[in-house]
Structure 1
Amino acid sequence: MSESPVNDVLVRFRNVQKSYDGESLIVKDLNLDIRKGEFLTLLGPSGSGKTTSLMMLAGFETPTSGEILLGDRSLNRVPAHRRNIGMVFQNYALFPHMTVAENLAFPLKVRKLDKTDIAERVKRALSMVQLDAFAHRYPGQMSGGQQQRVALARALVFEPQLVLMDEPLGALDKQLREHMQIEIKHLHEKLGVTVVYVTHDQSEALTMSDRVAVFHQGEIQQIDTPQALYETPRNAFVANFIGENNRLSGRLEKREGPECVVRLDNGESVRAMAVHDAAPGQPVSLSVRPERISLNATTPVNRFSGRVREFIYLGDHVRIRLEACGNAAFIVKQPIASLDPELGVGDVVTLGWNIEHARALDPVAV
């Protein structure tokens, strides 16, 4: 993992481990630098360690070993309420007996700000989330999306240097969720605050983040920009977890610089980028994204034939399931505009892809 310049880093996890039973580690030897002003998402399946890592940073969990630093100060013995960190949860955690304005004023009163300052900051925070007219409403009188905005404003009202968000949009419907993703992203750009965001929703992570850390079994598998994670996954877990992926099994036949030749289980050969450090004869898995595959391909290498088994219509594009390369569920994504209207189930087509769009990765345990 690349080191950041010291003055650019706000949070450091140093060899952090967490175990609840003294035997199995939920978080294993976590080393992570979080940069000032960045939007970092911790992404992974349930039980991967992402939420536990966030809760240790918030102060609601204690590391079994290792150290967490905020700036140059160790947080290990600092209680949660003294960390000056904003938190937004999935369940909003608003006080139902307080108005919106009173909810926003609460963290400021705890910090003993004077009344004029509190009123000014509450007004500014309401305006920031476009809820100026809702100051005197109670949470129960508002929609889920409005309550989430109040929770967001409350996390930002005392101007923390760091805001942690744990699945904050999980309870919202798809359309509102997508709208709030963009709202939060714009707020982050405007305020320049550092955000650490936890989700298991990969499209949310790709949409919102400057960088994404992909967790699996308590360890970061890869931390990168959304584009780098999607286009250049370092291992089979990341390739399969982020976006849709055609996975083919085979053995490395030979390496040629950064490229290699892989012999598939059905005997066909594929040229790919040699990402996994395998020796000739060893098993590898190939990753090819469905949108990188051409039908009626004219590529000079990696040309195969496939039989169409199913069309799945998705509005702007079609997912076509084929039998190809020894795989009965090989997926090709085609924009509607470029789909051949004559193509039908049972037809045999040529398909192909460029060498740089196939990655030879570690073998996947079955």
Structure 2
Amino acid sequence: MPPNGHVGDDAFVRFAGIQKTYDGEALIVKDLNLDIARGEFFTMLGPSGSGKTTTLMMLAGFEVPTEGSIFLAGRSIGTMPPHKRDIGMVFQNYALFPHMTVEENLAFPLKVRKLPKPEMEARIKRALEMVRLSAQGKRRPAQLSGGQQQRVALARALVFEPKLVLMDEPLGALDKQLREEMQFEIKHIHENLGVTVVYVTHDQGEALTMSDRIAVFNDGVIQQIAKPAELYERPENVFVAKFIGENNQLSGKIIALNEPACTVEMPGAGIIQALAVNVGMVEQPTVLSLRPERVKLNPLPGSLPNIFSAKVMEVIYLGDHIRARMSVCGRDDFVVKLSNSEGIAHVEPGVEMTLGWKMEDCRALRPS
């Protein structure tokens, strides 16, 4: 079973032996053991149906685990109703009350908690300042843009000063530029308040930008938990390598194992030196993972352990870099990313060249 992450005995959120099924047969979440630290921005990342949203909903109290226990600040919350958990929630569809003004939306969770009016007014004022909407307090949601509505939803989740905020695809309905702006805004608010955030998304760029740690879910199981840079640079299995960022995957057979290196034979395409990350024995199959930006053009002979002839099949201009599809190692879908500062005018369809990469940039993994 992959490691599910541990932050010590003082974990703020703890999932212990959690299983979830709706029909008594298919497990949506399988044997989840996970600790989240106080003040952490923790992201659950994965494709649709991977179990990440179900996990979040169990923490919120909207779903009940089939097996296992969930702890918040050391206290079991399995039988506690959602409104007693004192958790802030932000959803993709904002879930604002359309008939209320912005201020009235923010006042709602404070009235439920029976705060005195002066305290309510002070908190609403602070929350609106925090999301830069001080001038919009008297407006109704329909009079605001999508980005402003999401800011109100964020302010409402924070106005009663919860210790934990859950966010379920909160930026999914926004356009690309606004989504990127809100990523930084949410991250800055998190840093300033020190609140614990558990965030669900299927967008890997969003997860890499915002998170302290990321758990990659697939088929109800956490595949890897790591900091963003480690997840991208050092994926532990084929699924994570493929799901996080663009990736060349080459299938071969291990013919020599001399850790940390291994030698891999590519059928009809030669020999590759790779980093043995998660492999079987000699003669067993492996999948090599290589990031497109790690590939070098026309390296000097002998300067790299892996050098191959290649032919440019397609070039796509993307502003600050180009994405070139090459024919190499028996594959016509090998991708290379090249910065515009690298002198790429000669990279055109039909041109033949050599490509090379370091052993440690090519990660050998089990096929599944």
* TM class by smaller structure: over 0.9
- Which deviates further from its counterpart, 334-343 or 75-84? 334-343
- Secondary structure of the structure 1 residue equivalent to 2:278: coil
Residue segments in structure 2 that go unaligned for 5+ positions in a row: none
Kindly state the Cα deviation for residue 286 of structure 1 after the two structures are TM-superposed.
Answer: 0.2
Counterpart pick for 1:6 among 5, 9, 27: 9
Kindly state the Cα deviation for residue 337 of structure 1 after the two structures are TM-superposed.
Answer: 1.7
Write the deviation string for residues 283-333 of structure 1: whole angstroms up to 9, x where unpaired.
100000000000102333100111100101000000010000111100000
Matched, 1:342 2:346: yes
Write the deviation string for residues 101-151 of structure 1: whole angstroms up to 9, x where unpaired.
010010010001100100000000000000000110000100000000000
Letter in 2 for 1:337: S
Letter in 1 for 2:46: G
Q: Structure 2: how far apart are the matches of 1:300 and 1:140? A: 59
Instruction: Give 2:47's aligned residue.
Output: 45
Kindly state the Cα deviation for residue 342 of structure 1 after the two structures are TM-superposed.
Answer: 2.6
Instruction: Give 1:127's aligned residue.
Output: 129
Kindly state the Cα deviation for residue 4 of structure 1 after the two structures are TM-superposed.
Answer: 1.7
Q: Structure 2: how far apart are the matches of 1:354 and 1:183? A: 38
Shift >6 Å, 4+ stretches: none
Matched, 1:54 2:56: yes
Q: Percent of aligned positions with the same letter in both sequences?
A: 62
Kindly state the Cα deviation for residue 3 of structure 1 after the two structures are TM-superposed.
Answer: 2.6
- Which deviates further from its counterpart, 75-84 or 294-303? 294-303
- Which deviates further from its counterpart, 293-302 or 200-209? 293-302
Kindly state the Cα deviation for residue 276 of structure 1 after the two structures are TM-superposed.
Answer: 1.7
Coordinate RMSD, CA, aligned = 0.9
Q: Structure 1: how far apart are the matches of 2:220 and 2:21? A: 10
CA contact (8 A) 2:279 2:286 kept: no
Q: Structure 2: how far apart are the matches of 1:343 and 1:194? A: 47
Letter in 1 for 2:7: S
Counterpart pick for 1:163 among 162, 165, 168: 165
Letter in 2 for 1:205: A
CA contact (8 A) 2:236 2:277 kept: yes
CA contact (8 A) 2:279 2:364 kept: no
- Secondary structure of the structure 2 residue equivalent to 1:320: strand
Write the deviation string for residues 164-189 of structure 1: whole angstroms up to 9, x where unpaired.
00000000000000000000010001
- Secondary structure of the structure 1 residue equivalent to 2:325: strand
Matched, 1:333 2:343: no
- Secondary structure of the structure 2 residue equivalent to 1:252: strand
Instruction: Give 1:93's aligned residue.
Output: 95
Matched, 1:308 2:329: no
Q: Structure 2: how far apart are the matches of 1:60 and 1:300? A: 54
Paired residues, number: 363
Letter in 1 for 2:362: A
Q: Structure 1: how far apart are the matches of 2:289 and 2:357? A: 11
Kindly state the Cα deviation for residue 340 of structure 1 after the two structures are TM-superposed.
Answer: 3.1
Matched, 1:318 2:322: yes
Write the mapping of 1:272-311 to structure 2, written as runs, cut at 5 A.
272-298=274-300, 299-311=303-315
Q: Structure 2: how far apart are the matches of 1:343 and 1:133? A: 52
Q: Structure 2: how far apart are the matches of 1:257 and 1:343? A: 36
Matched, 1:113 2:154: no
Write the deviation string for residues 71-97 of structure 1: whole angstroms up to 9, x where unpaired.
111111000000000000000000011
Q: Structure 1: how far apart are the matches of 2:198 and 2:164? A: 8
Q: Structure 1: how far apart are the matches of 2:75 and 2:32? A: 18
Residue segments in structure 1 that go unaligned for 5+ positions in a row: none
- Secondary structure of the structure 2 residue equivalent to 1:6: coil
- Secondary structure of the structure 2 residue equivalent to 1:275: strand
Instruction: Give 2:182's aligned residue.
Output: 180
Write the deviation string for residues 232-286 of structure 1: whole angstroms up to 9, x where unpaired.
0000000000000000000011111211011112241111110123111101000
Kindly state the Cα deviation for residue 339 of structure 1 after the two structures are TM-superposed.
Answer: 3.1
Letter in 2 for 1:186: H
Q: Structure 2-normalised TM-score? A: 0.97
CA contact (8 A) 2:316 2:322 kept: yes
- Secondary structure of the structure 2 residue equivalent to 1:249: strand
Q: Structure 2: how far apart are the matches of 1:277 and 1:312? A: 34
Write the deviation string for residues 19-46 of structure 1: whole angstroms up to 9, x where unpaired.
0000000000000001110100100000
- Secondary structure of the structure 1 residue equivalent to 2:98: coil
Q: Structure 2: how far apart are the matches of 1:273 and 1:55? A: 39
Matched, 1:254 2:256: yes
Q: Structure 1-normalised TM-score? A: 0.98
Letter in 2 for 1:46: S
CA contact (8 A) 2:90 2:153 kept: yes
Write the mapping of 1:215-230 to structure 2, written as runs, cut at 5 A.
215-230=217-232
Letter in 2 for 1:3: H
